[in-house]
């Protein structure tokens, strides 16, 4: 049967449309194949480096040991100073800045000045220090002694707060620091109007620890020199600190202490008893909590 002109025109248009569609589809497929081939070729030229990546958020001043994983990262995304070997850090390495999970670790981000745990290090509890209202665990503090005269001394410096509650902190201290702190506590008890307080570092990872300025009494210094539990490094540090200027500072403390000759025993007894009662109360709450 003969096809009328309208049908013939429609059929021709349909065939041309199909042909055009096939041509366009073929071009798209060819471009995709070319793109995939190019991508594969590029992938073959990409190099990867094994680096250390932070596995959880780390605050400035915290140790990074156990908070990293090894991952392969494309070389163009790896800084030149990225840490690629375990020999580039130690168990005492601390973060200089706050680090987010997934950050590629670099040598500029860590501090190797951490002090190792020597045999004389102990975890010590103190409840007579006036603490900052917003102090949290993991922050770094100095412990200072303020005298009634307004003179202010740094007793302990750069101490990491292991734990804290409303009135107590737990920090790691050496034998020398324990004796120095004990001396400062007793003298703060003697001198009414003096007190021990803590100040918080703004960025402990980037800030160097303060240099202690408080000098213990001569009796305590002599005890330190004779104490076999104090390391040679600490003894040398004590000797270096005990300069002529330091002795003059010590004399100012002794002068203030002499004003409390009659009251000193009573002041020490009352303050020590208060300290003991605080510790007993805290201990009882802890024990009660264990049985809950």
Query: Three-state SS for 208?
Result: coil
Judge whether residue 49 has pLDDT over 90.
no
Judge whether residue 116 has pLDDT over 60.
no
Q: Considering the entire predicted model, what is its pTM?
A: 0.65
CA angle in degrees (0–180, nearest 5) for 98-174-267 = 105
CA-wise closest residue to 176 among 126, 125, 224, 244: 224
Query: Three-state SS for 157?
Result: strand
- CA separation for the pair 261, 251 (Å, rounded): 16
- CATH level 2 (architecture), domain 48-111: Alpha-Beta Complex (3.90)
pLDDT of residue 250: 83
Residue 238 or residue 143, greater confidence = 143
Q: To the nearest whole number, what is the mean pLDDT of the chain?
A: 83
Judge whether residue 198 has pLDDT over 90.
yes
Q: What residues does each domain of the chain span?
A: 48-111, 122-291
């Amino acid at each position: 049967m003969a096809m009328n002109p309208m049908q013939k025109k429609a059929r021709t248009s349909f065939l041309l449309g199909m042909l055009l569609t096939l041509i366009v589809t073929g071009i798209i497929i060819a471009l995709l194949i070319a793109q995939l081939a190019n991508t594969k070729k590029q992938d073959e030229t990409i190099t990867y480096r094994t680096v250390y990546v932070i596995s959880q958020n780390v605050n400035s001043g915290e140790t990074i040991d156990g908070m990293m994983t090894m991952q392969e990262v494309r070389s163009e995304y790896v800084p030149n100073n990225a840490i690629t070997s375990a020999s580039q850090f130690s168990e005492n390495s601390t973060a200089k800045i706050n680090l987010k999970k997934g950050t590629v670790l670099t040598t500029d981000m860590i501090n190797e000045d951490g002090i190792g745990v020597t045999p004389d290090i102990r975890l010590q509890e103190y409840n007579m220090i006036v603490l900052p209202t917003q102090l949290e665990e993991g922050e770094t503090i100095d412990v200072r002694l303020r005298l009634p005269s307004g003179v202010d001394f740094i007793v302990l410096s750069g101490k990491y707060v292991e734990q804290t509650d409303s009135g107590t902190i737990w920090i790691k201290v050496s034998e020398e620091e324990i004796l120095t702190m004990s001396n400062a506590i007793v003298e703060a008890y003697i001198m009414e109007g003096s007190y021990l307080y803590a100040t918080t570092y703004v960025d402990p990872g980037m800030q160097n620890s303060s240099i202690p300025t408080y000098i213990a009494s001569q009796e305590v210094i002599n005890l330190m020199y004779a104490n076999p539990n104090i390391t040679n490094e600490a003894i040398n540090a004590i000797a270096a600190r005990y300069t002529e200027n330091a002795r003059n500072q010590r004399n100012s403390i002794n002068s203030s202490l002499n004003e409390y000759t009659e009251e000193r025993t009573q002041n020490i007894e009352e303050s020590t008893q208060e300290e003991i009662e605080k510790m007993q109360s805290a201990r009882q709450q802890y024990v009660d909590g264990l049985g809950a």
